[in-house]
Amino acid sequence: MKNVYLAGPFFDAEQIERIERMEQALTNNPTVASFFSPRSETCAEFEMGTREWAAATFKVDRDHINQADVVVAVIDYVDDFVDPGTAWEIGYANANQKPVILLKEKPNGSVNLMMAIPAHAVLLHVSDVAQYDFNEMPTSEWTGDMF
């Protein structure tokens, strides 16, 4: 069983709904020992938007990536706008030899090559995450367009 870090934006209703479905999928997956979703850690002891809050949030997220066995990243962005936080989490995980599994539910669009090429697997629906075998870690490449 694996410890998972869930990366992805949660700034609007659609993104929050997707992250909630991802959290449920990871909860239901029998090969997931535990997962961390950054939206669950608010660093409430600091005022949101302050330097102290930002530093604490960065540390919590980085520490959880370090503790994870694998990063699952939601990359449903509009056109070629990639959420910078998610992009950083993917890059940091790759730099630390953590496998990254991408979730791209939106059917249109391409994937940034800096995410697609190093991805261990690319899944196309949240239900795929619920059924993914994190023990065996099967691979799948992105076969669509890249930019």
When pLDDT is cut at 50, 70 and 90, the band that residue 83 belongs to is confident
Q: Rounded to an integer, what distance in angstroms lies between the CA atom of residue 30 and that of residue 1? A: 8
Q: What percent of the chain has pLDDT over 70?
A: 98
Q: How many CB atoms lie within 10 A of CB 81?
A: 7
Does the pLDDT value for residue 79 go beyond 70?
no
pTM more than 0.75 = yes
Q: Rounded to an integer, what distance in angstroms lies between the CA atom of residue 145 and that of residue 15? A: 23
Residue with the two structure tokens 């950083």: 88
Q: Rounded to an integer, what distance in angstroms lies between the CA atom of residue 120 and that of residue 117? A: 8
Does the pLDDT value for residue 76 go beyond 90?
no
How large is the average pLDDT for residues 22-32?
A: 98
| C-beta of residue 10 within 8 angstroms of C-beta of residue 27 | no
Task: State pLDDT tens for residues 89-117.
Answer: 999 999 999 999 999 998 877 899 999 99
The distance in angstroms from the start CA to the end CA of the chain is 34
When pLDDT is cut at 50, 70 and 90, the band that residue 80 belongs to is low
Strand (E) or helix (H) holding 89: helix 84-95
Task: State pLDDT tens for residues 63-75.
Answer: 999 999 999 999 9
